[in-house]
A and B are shown apart, each in its own frame.
Chain A
Amino acid sequence: MDIPYTVEVRRDTGLTNGKIGIWLFLASEVMLFGALFASYILIRVGATSWPRGAEHLNVPLATFNTIVLIASSVTMVMAWASLMRDRFGTFRLYMGATILLGFVFLIVKYFEYTAKFEHHLYPSTNNFFAIYFTLTGLHMLHVAGGMAVNAYFWGPGAKLWKTNPVWFTNRVEHSGLFWHFVDLVWIFLFPTLYLL
């Protein structure tokens, strides 16, 4: 049995089921990160002193990672636009670049984390590092998850393009929405943790 409303839109919502599904999921993600941001505010305003992020974290590396993630959002949306232009080869290039940029982000985070561990700075060290590792760790899991889905659409999942190109394009758009959300979260994490 075919999954309904993957290509044609529902009359009542004006949307495909996939589109409304991914937005509902992103709404739940807003609440997940929102709860952690609220915890951060509570811990910070309750503290009589709080370290400046730049004194303990590597701002140049985080700035580089911000540029990497924003660039990956552009390649992601260009991958979708390539499918809309019927250019499958270009889609593969842009999607490949998106996955690669995700890897670069994770590698940079690996170096950041190991530098902290070498200085014996762990989540248990203090509240600042507890919230830093929790927020960035959860964000990294999202980057890894998004990369796994994108890699599927770059590889085996791309077979759908031959049989049902509109459905495949919709799927890429939805994984793109998740990827842009991950970028959006980092846009707020970067100044909050590293610069303030």
Chain B
Amino acid sequence: MTSDHGSASMAGMTGHDAADIDRHVRIYITVFVTLMVLTFITVAVSYLHLSVPMAVTVALLVATIKGTLVACYFMHLVSEKKLIYAVLALTVVFFAVLLALPTLTHRNGFWIHEPHPPASSSPGTGH
């Protein structure tokens, strides 16, 4: 199968010019290198044995930066239509509620009264 389909170029038909695509490709390579560097930073930081709150903050911060790069450039969210942004804004709201629910239910006296486990129990390895 060849690329010749007897019509105008793909880039032209989809509203992009060739220079536009070349610029995109350069961005993809830059983002790839950045993601690699951030992956090594994530792993390197884990060997520093930071306190749990600090480790969680750093790991999630780096993961968020990486996720944003993937979403913005590989998924083309930097130049998307308003309707997609609206769908995603709604998703973000529901996602935030979803993640907030465990925190709210965990708070003692709010929704659920937290049981006091016996001192010898080890829930991390329990069923």
A:90-145 near B, CB below 8 Å: 124, 126-128
Known contacts A45-B106, A54-B46, A184-B71, A165 near B7 by CB under 8 Å: yes
Using an 8 Å CB-CB cutoff, how does the interface string of B67-104 with A read, 1 for contact, 0 for none?
10011001100000111100110110011001101110
State whether B99 touches A161 (Cβ < 8 A). Answer: no
State whether A195 touches B99 (Cβ < 8 A). Answer: no
**Chain B contacts for A50, CB-based, 8 A:** 124
State whether B87 touches A34 (Cβ < 8 A). Answer: no
Using an 8 Å CB-CB cutoff, how does the interface string of A166-196 with B read, 1 for contact, 0 for none?
1001000000110011011001101110011
Known contacts A30-B95, A88-B2, A45 near B103 by CB under 8 Å: yes
* Residue among B3, B39, B62, B114 with max Cβ neighbours from chain A (10 Å): B3
Known contacts A20-B83, A169-B10, A162 near B106 by CB under 8 Å: no
B31 to chain A, nearest CB (A): 8
The tally of residues in A whose CB lies under 8 Å from a CB in B reads 69
Complex: A27 Cα to B13 Cα, angstroms: 29
The tally of residues in B whose CB lies under 8 Å from a CB in A reads 64
State whether A192 touches B59 (Cβ < 8 A). Answer: yes
**Chain A contacts for B71, CB-based, 8 A:** 180, 184
Using an 8 Å CB-CB cutoff, how does the interface string of A75-94 with B read, 1 for contact, 0 for none?
01110010111111100000
**Chain B contacts for A191, CB-based, 8 A:** 42, 46, 59-60, 62-63
Identify 6 residue pairs between A and B in the complex whose beta-carbon atoms are under 8 Å apart, listed by A's number: A14-B83, A67-B39, A71-B32, A84-B14, A190-B63, A191-B63
Interface of A toward B, CB cutoff 8 Å:
13-15, 19-20, 23-24, 27, 30-31, 34-35, 37-39, 41-42, 45-51, 54, 59, 63, 66-67, 70-71, 73-74, 76-78, 81, 83-89, 124, 126-128, 158-159, 161-163, 165-166, 169, 176-177, 180-181, 183-184, 187-188, 190-192, 195-196
